[in-house]
Amino acid sequence: MTVELRHLRAFLAIAAEGTITRAAARLHVTQPALSRTLRQLEAHLGARLIDRSTHHLRLTVAGHAFQPRAAAAVTAVDEALDPARAGTWPLRLGHAWSALGEHTTPLLRRWKQEHPDTPLQLLRVDDRNAGLDRGTVDVAVIRGEADLPAEVNTVALLLEPRVAAVAADSPLARRTRLTLRDLIARPIAVNTIAGTTALGLWPPDDTPDDTIEVANTDDWIAAIAAGDAVGVTTTATAITYPNPAVAYLPLAGVPAVTVHLAWKQPPSHPAVPDFIALAQRLIPAPPSTTGG
């Protein structure tokens, strides 16, 4: 049997809706036809994708692993067949925050000059892998360590020094530089989705007493500007997110953060190798890949 796009759409609809009934209504097919399509897909893969033992269907371990691959395949086909995109095929560059900092604009401008027929689309995705695992981007900017599958290639592009972020009216803002110890008396704002700062950055015997968890950079900055917390980030944030209520100060005694470019192999866009080469040409190579 040859797997078709309808098999993937059927699986994704069932996974999203949780029942065959609702999924069938969503796809405008009968329930028996949808169940048959799912069985065909499972037979082809040699694995059970949906646990049917309860009234509300659930994904199996294999189903959870297959879901992002199926979603990426459907997204790629939909975009390829989108009439609005006929004649253009944008290269999608994903980032969770700050893109490439001070290098972002020069890189975008140079790409436009050298590749005028291939638009470069910058996408912010609040995700540790900046949308790469979901197939929503072709290349991802990833800071620090990330859990990436074997088919993903990475290159260390640059090192970003860490800085402290404090409220501009805080006594700490009057200092010329700070240390991790200077921050422990205040709650630490931690971006749990895509940030590079965790309590493990501090020595085990000298860690902060409290944290404020946020899910994106906007909320992180808001917490610091309000004086509710302090934070640790990189110089890219200070460049990309200047705020009169937030002071960014050099942070002594901490390792820099390695910024990687990551892409799937084979590439999801034919221009990926050209983009990697351009980025490496414009941005000086880091002296090492330690840090994170």
Q: Tokens 């990697």 appear where?
A: 276
Considering the domain boundaries, does residue 287 fall inside one? no
Q: How many domains does the chain have?
A: 3
**242 and 169 co-located in one domain:** yes
**167 and 205 co-located in one domain:** yes
- Of 45, 66, 83, the one marking the end of a domain is 83
- State the CATH number of the domain containing residue 110: 3.40.190.10
**154 and 270 co-located in one domain:** yes
% the chain with pLDDT above 90: 71
> In this structure, how many other beta carbons lie within 10 angstroms of the beta carbon of residue 91?
22
Considering the domain boundaries, does residue 292 fall inside one? no
Residue 47 domain boundaries: 5-83
Considering the domain boundaries, does residue 113 fall inside one? yes
**243 and 268 co-located in one domain:** no
Considering the domain boundaries, does residue 128 fall inside one? yes
- Looking at the DSSP assignment, which residues form a beta bridge with residue 158? 259
Name the more confident of 73 and 96: 96
**270 and 144 co-located in one domain:** yes
In the predicted model, is pLDDT for residue 98 greater than 60? yes
**36 and 181 co-located in one domain:** no
Q: What is the mean pLDDT of the chain?
A: 91
CB 149 within 8 A of CB 277: no
Per-residue pLDDT tens over the stretch 191-217: 998 899 999 999 999 999 899 999 999
% the chain with pLDDT above 70: 94
Per-residue pLDDT tens over the stretch 106-156: 999 999 999 998 999 999 999 889 999 888 999 999 999 878 888 899 999
Count the residues in the chain.
Answer: 292
**132 and 22 co-located in one domain:** no
**79 and 91 co-located in one domain:** no
Confidence of residue 85 (pLDDT cuts 50, 70, 90): low
- Looking at the DSSP assignment, which residues form a beta bridge with residue 159? 258
Of the ranges 44-53, 83-92, 218-227, 249-258, which one carries the lowest mean pLDDT score? 83-92
Considering the domain boundaries, does residue 289 fall inside one? no
